[in-house]
Amino acid sequence: MTGGARGIGAAIAARLGREGARVVVFDIDGKAGEERVEMLRAEGVDALFVQGDVAREADVVRCVNAAVEAFGRLDVLVNNAGIGFSGRPIFEQMLEEWERVIAVNLTGPYLFAKHAAKVMAERGGGVIVNIASTRVLQSEPNTEPYSASKGGLLALTHALAVSLAPYRIRVVAVSPGWIDTSEWQLPPRKPQLTHLDHEQHPAGRVGRPEDVAALVAFLASDEAGFITGVNFVIDGGMTVKMLYLDEAVIESAVATFTGDSELAGLLRRALASGDPGRVKEALRRALGT
C-alpha cells in the first residue's frame, strides 16, 4: 500500500486489513507511517511500515523484500502514493516540478509494479491497482504535470495488464473524482464542505476515502477475476455531467450567500427565462441596489 499513511491510501489499508489482509504501508513520511501502522494494529490488523520514496528504486526493492520477509508472499499492490502540482501557469512551470510529479505519480507505480510483479509471478499471480484520477479525462487550467502523470498511469495500466497476463496478474486503474480526505489525515480533521460542494455532484455528495477503498477491495478480490487492464471512474457522476448552467446550484448558491431563498428562486426563474431585464432586476435586488 503506497502512500498508506494518510488519505485514501490509509482508508484502503484499513479496509483491506479488516478483510484479513496483512498490510505493508509504504510512505515517504516516516512519522505518519508509524502512526498509521499503530492505528491499524490497534484494530487487529497485522501491519508493517516501510519508509521510503516511490521514485527511488532502492526504496521500492527494500519494501518488496520487507513484505516478502515479513509475510512470505505478496498478493496485492496498490499504487496510491501521489502528489499534486503547484498550479503555476504553463509559461512559468519549472522542469524540476514536472519531473518530480512524473517521478512520484508515474515512475513510482512503474517501479513498484515491476518489482512486486516479479514476486507475484513466482507465487502464481496477483493484482495491481493503480490509483489514477478523473484528471485523466478532464482538466482545470494549469495542471499539466498532474494530468499527464495520471494519463500515463492509465496507459501503464493496460500495458502491464497485457504483459503480466501470462503470470495471472491482473492490473486495473481506479480514477477518483473529488474525495474529501480530511477524516483520514493525521490528526483527523472535520470536513469543511458546503452543501454546494455536495449538490454539484449527481450522487448528491462529495466522495469519501471509504468509497474508493470499497472499490479497491472488490477489484483486488477473486470476484473481480474477469477484470483487467481497465479504468474505473469513481466520482459521484461528475465526469459525465454536462456543464450547462446548473440553475439548481445557482439558486442554492444565491440562497447560501444572501440567506434569502425567495430571491434565489427569483434569480433562478429569471435565468431560466433568458430575459436579460428580469436577470438584471433580480441581480439588483440581490445586491441591494
Ligand X SMILES: NC(=O)c1ccc[n+]([C@@H]2O[C@H](COP(=O)([O-])OP(=O)(O)OC[C@H]3O[C@@H](n4cnc5c(N)ncnc54)[C@H](O)[C@@H]3O)[C@@H](O)[C@H]2O)c1
- Residue nearer to ligand X on the CB measure, 82 or 152: 82
Site string for ligand X, 72-111 (x = CB under 6 A): --------xxxx--------------------x-------
- Residue nearer to ligand X on the CB measure, 126 or 177: 177
Check residue 129 for interaction with ligand X (CB under 6 A): no
Q: Please name the residue ranges forming H helices in the chain.
A: 7-18, 30-42, 57-71, 95-102, 108-122, 144-164, 195-199, 209-220, 247-258, 261-273, 276-287
Residues annotated as catalytic (active site), given as ranges: 146
- Residue nearer to ligand X on the CB measure, 83 or 266: 83
Check residue 157 for interaction with ligand X (CB under 6 A): no
Closest distance to ligand X from the beta carbon of 268 (Å):
29
Phi, psi of 265, rounded to the nearest 5 degrees = -65, -40
- Contact segment (CB under 6 A) with ligand X among 7-15, 120-128, 165-173, 248-256 equals 7-15
**In the set 145, 152, 176, 236, which binds ligand X (CB under 6 A)?**
176
Check residue 40 for interaction with ligand X (CB under 6 A): no
Phi, psi of 194, rounded to the nearest 5 degrees = -95, 165
Give CB contacts under 8 A, 24+ apart, made by 139-145.
141/89, 142/85, 142/87, 142/88, 142/89, 142/90, 142/93, 143/85, 143/87, 144/85, 144/90, 144/93, 144/98, 145/85, 145/93, 145/97, 145/98, 145/101, 145/102
> All 3 cell numbers of residue 155?
496507459
Within residues 10-39, the interface with ligand X by CB under 6 A covers: 27-29, 32
Q: Is the peptide bond before 187 cis (omega within 30 degrees of 0)?
A: yes
Closest distance to ligand X from the beta carbon of 202 (Å):
17
**In the set 154, 179, 219, 220, which binds ligand X (CB under 6 A)?**
179
**In the set 143, 181, 200, 228, which binds ligand X (CB under 6 A)?**
181
- Contact segment (CB under 6 A) with ligand X among 4-12, 223-231, 239-247, 252-260 equals 4-12
Cα–Cα distances (Å) from 3 to 9, 123, 265, 268, 284, in that order, read 6, 25, 45, 44, 50
Closest distance to ligand X from the beta carbon of 255 (Å):
26
- Residue nearer to ligand X on the CB measure, 153 or 282: 153
> All 3 cell numbers of residue 171?
492490473
- Residue nearer to ligand X on the CB measure, 60 or 255: 60
Check residue 266 for interaction with ligand X (CB under 6 A): no
d(CA 200, CA 38): 37
- Residue nearer to ligand X on the CB measure, 215 or 270: 215
Closest distance to ligand X from the beta carbon of 132 (Å):
7
Check residue 210 for interaction with ligand X (CB under 6 A): no
d(CA 118, CA 179): 32
Cα–Cα distances (Å) from 74 to 18, 112, 288, in that order, read 17, 12, 65
How many other C-beta atoms lie within 10 A of the C-beta of residue 258? 16
Residues that bind ligand X in the complex, under the rule CB under 6 A:
2-3, 5-9, 27-29, 32, 53-55, 80-83, 104, 131, 133, 176, 178-179, 181
